[in-house]
Structure 1
């Protein structure tokens, strides 16, 4: 699929975004791959790093990830170069993926005795020489060493929150972990983006949850909500993002708009820092 009209501003340096929520079923992987595809379609070079042993992001991008495929496991545990495992996504120009294989399931335990175990992904990304505008890291639904590696490697945490009952439950622990990693391992880390997913405008509950999240998080919440959508759910079974599966669907258009917001916010923040009107992320 070729790039859309109206390219977005490209960041001055690579934005590394960690998509995390230890709660399952909130649209984390869906958000990772569709934001990545949207940014690539707007003219950016984007890498998705699949850190979830289930490999759902790899599946959705049409990337082979059976046990023998060189994967992010080899980068973290076998000291392979990231460039040796990255594959281009056939459907979307400018989009790439470092796949996950089932080997990653044991990585949490295997990392424990390793030297500098929290920063192995960070070092691999630092050594990657291909120019990139964005790296999106799809984390497993847990707060173990894989997620910590992601948080040490990047600066921005993106939290998808589904518009359902108990939406905010468990988020306190995630935010505490962000604080811990910021305090001890990565002072640049901050929550930059909250994205409301599975939004059903026909229900009162969805609008109540959206209002509660906006009250709680304020400016971090994107204006764009991602609707509950059959098309979004179907796309991965065809090895596609919703952007290529049904580009005119409400889900595809919503992710394109969310990506636009993320890009423009990044540009605005960069300009503010350059003009000395705000400090950089703490």
Structure 2
């Protein structure tokens, strides 16, 4: 069945295609940055140029499928199907399969140097743990599946009443497929518990022991997998241990203590593309070690690693932000480090709170360096996921927080 199309010389074509083949086509077209109709057009052209038929495809249960093709393409395709003795549905399925086989999924882009993202703010309760977990989950999602993403530029529309941009606009994009390690660097262990695991026992091994030079085994033995099909084996967690409450005391006697975290994690870096550190609300030696770990290494591109500062749209976050950035700047100056700011994340935002929230958000937006790279709403799904001890992006993959966290992951991966 065909019908006229206003877009040039194309016409709407309605046939049938198995749902599994249509989904694979949809994902692959997005991966290659082209329209599905162009992929089908290319597949049909290649199929028509073959000297013989391909192996038959199981088209049982095929469902209605519509696309737009040049008028002469569809007419010629129908004639070729008839001369080759195959149905239109079978010919279309073979054409799509031919295009898929000729255009394999692009390889996941891996950083030359493991990315180290330090999620921090010395103020407690701003949601560092939720941002660490959510960004890590978004980085690790299946690259062979499409997920809804809020286009990052749209959060600016939250402040502009004259902006015609739809702040809720979504785009389906492939998952990023990164190998991610989440490090619970906070002795309170919120990240560990939220993801359904228990903190490490005090009388066993821990990250603290390895940082203090007293590791009892391989650090990799402490790492656990976050089990969910969305992440396969790409999302891992290094659980917290309550002995981290004593970390600053133990680091006081360690040689080159600012490099202690780097020395501890060096043994596992080769297994990951991204390591996110969920920092404690502290300005002590542990924060120095985290900042040093996120510094720009020799031959590392600017913005590959650095600090991601989580704030809220209220006044006390501004005071905490000033204290944190002062400490980072002191580290930069004292040790001659290049420490990049990956940006600010305004968390728990709710415009219904009125002037305090909106004016505070505007103040964060006005900073420019570091710039705001994400605005995450204060919604119920995050609290529900914490109660269920499940990753948010697995618990509610299409909720507003999830789509915003995917945009954040892409923004800091540019």
TM-score, normalized by length of structure 1?
A: 0.85
Instruction: Report the equivalent of 1:277.
Output: none
- Residue 47 (structure 1) aligned with residue 197 (structure 2): no
The 2-side partners of 1:15 and 1:100 are apart by 21
- Residue 174 (structure 1) aligned with residue 314 (structure 2): no
Task: State the 1:128 CA deviation.
Answer: 2.4
- Residue 73 (structure 1) aligned with residue 208 (structure 2): yes
Instruction: Report the equivalent of 1:258.
Output: 408
CA contact (8 A) 2:211 2:263 kept: no
Q: Any gaps of 5 or more consecutive residues in structure 2?
A: 1-26, 32-107, 142-175, 296-305
SS in 2 for 1:161: strand
In our comparison, the structure showing a higher alpha carbon Rg is 2
Instruction: Report the equivalent of 1:267.
Output: none
Deviations 1:138-159 (A, max 9, x none): 1110111111111111130000
- Residue 248 (structure 1) aligned with residue 382 (structure 2): no
Instruction: Report the equivalent of 1:185.
Output: 335
- Residue 24 (structure 1) aligned with residue 124 (structure 2): yes
**Larger mean Cα displacement after TM superposition, 167-176 or 232-241:** 232-241
Instruction: Report the equivalent of 2:385.
Output: 235
Instruction: Report the equivalent of 2:138.
Output: 38
Deviations 1:179-235 (A, max 9, x none): 12222336121222111111113333222111101112346211x310011111221
The 2-side partners of 1:218 and 1:210 are apart by 15
Task: State the 1:31 CA deviation.
Answer: 0.6
Cα RMSD for the two superposed structures: 2.0
Deviations 1:7-55 (A, max 9, x none): 7744332110111100011111111111111111120011111110001
Instruction: Report the equivalent of 1:145.
Output: 285
Q: Any gaps of 5 or more consecutive residues in structure 1?
A: 265-282
Q: Which has the higher strand share?
A: 2
- Residue 63 (structure 1) aligned with residue 197 (structure 2): yes
The 2-side partners of 1:66 and 1:123 are apart by 20
CA contact (8 A) 1:182 1:190 kept: no
Q: Quick one: higher RCO (CA 8 Å, sep 6+), 1 or 2? A: 1
SS in 1 for 2:210: helix
CA contact (8 A) 2:114 2:270 kept: no
TM-score, normalized by length of structure 2?
A: 0.59
CA contact (8 A) 1:152 1:185 kept: no
CA contact (8 A) 1:9 1:263 kept: no
- Residue 205 (structure 1) aligned with residue 345 (structure 2): no
Task: State the 1:255 CA deviation.
Answer: 0.8
